[in-house]
Amino acid sequence: MKPEFEQLSPHILLMHATHETDRPIVAAIMGERRTLLMDAGNSPAHAALFREELSRRGYRQPDLLALTHWHWDHSFGMSGWNLPAVAHSGTAGMLAHLAGLDWSDECLDTLIAEGILNGDSAEHIRKEYGDPKKIQIIQPDIVFSDQLVIDLGGITCELRHVGGDHTADSCILHVKEDDILFLGDALGPSVYGGPRRYSSSEFLRLLGIAYGYEAQWYVESHDRPMSNEAFRAELRSWERLARVVDVFGNDRERVALEIKGYLKLDQLPEDLLKGIEYFMAGAQ
């Protein structure tokens, strides 16, 4: 599938996510002195597509890489870049654990059993790599625990650890001058180790952080960039769902009833029905 590129702002070029092998967004943030790469891609092949596009446009290649979290689809492209990499200490810890593995079929099965992968991601890995034994894990060079500011020359990037249901090491990246917030997968549910789960309190905490930036653009790694208004419109029913779960816990019927009433619908759309299941799993 041909990748799509978008110049989101004067200083940011991104490559859109594709879903066939779960490739997330990769972005270059270009200051006067340095270019920062946001996430490495899910493989060296994925990384190469972005590098080629930067060359084609005559843009500076990245000088530095920042990871949003350890998940394979965001970090396994590191070996395709050979860049100094910045990551949260939790990200570094998980990558150190994964670096010692042989990526055989048995290894993938063990990781699924341990809740470090799931069946879908193992399938995506096989499809992306052909032979997963080619996977090469690279360790980050610069490790932080709370937040880190990177000055690219006229462009300031603030990396902030937020954690949450998706992963404990999730970080967001705010490009101050262009007013763009990269959310990684921080607003997503927990995806490994059992059914997908959301806890209402964590979801609302993260939403509060994201809204607090009042960014011009919000970028979730597996979605299209959204304007502030579009982001709030998209999250409105999810926020309500989380608030209802906060009050009624795992009372599925009551939660569904409240949301139907709020949205004035007899039948909830598919994504919200799934959402209810994620919150029910998290409210157990």
| Distance of closest approach, residue 188 Cβ to Zn ion, in angstroms | 6
Our finding on whether 197 is near Zn ion (CB under 5 A) is no
Which residue stretch of 40-48, 112-120, 140-148, 177-185 sits at the interface with Zn ion (rule: CB under 5 A)? 177-185
Site for Zn ion in 41-80 (CB under 5 A): 71
| Distance of closest approach, residue 171 Cβ to Zn ion, in angstroms | 11
| Distance of closest approach, residue 166 Cβ to Zn ion, in angstroms | 6
Question: Given the complex with Zn ion, which of 68 and 237 has the nearer CB atom?
Answer: 68
| Distance of closest approach, residue 69 Cβ to Zn ion, in angstroms | 6
The DSSP element (H or E) to which 85 belongs, if any, is: strand 85-88
Which residue stretch of 46-54, 98-106, 155-163, 181-189 sits at the interface with Zn ion (rule: CB under 5 A)? 181-189
CB atoms within 10 A of CB 261: 10
Q: Mark residues 215-254: x for contact with Zn ion by CB under 5 A, - for none.
A: ----------------------------------------
Q: Which residue from 185, 202, 220, 258 is in contact with Zn ion, where contact means CB under 5 A?
A: 185
**Cα 263 to Cα 267: distance, rounded to the nearest angstrom:** 10
Integer Rg of the chain from CA: 19
**Cα 64 to Cα 114: distance, rounded to the nearest angstrom:** 32
**Cα 55 to Cα 169: distance, rounded to the nearest angstrom:** 32
Question: Given the complex with Zn ion, which of 54 and 95 has the nearer CB atom?
Answer: 95
**Cα 234 to Cα 241: distance, rounded to the nearest angstrom:** 12
Instruction: Count the alpha carbons within 13 Å of 235 in the hemisphere toward its beta carbon.
Output: 21
| Backbone region of residue 117 per phi and psi (left: phi > 0; alpha: psi in -120 to 50; beta: other values) | beta
Site for Zn ion in 104-133 (CB under 5 A): none
Interface residues toward Zn ion, by CB under 5 A: 71, 185
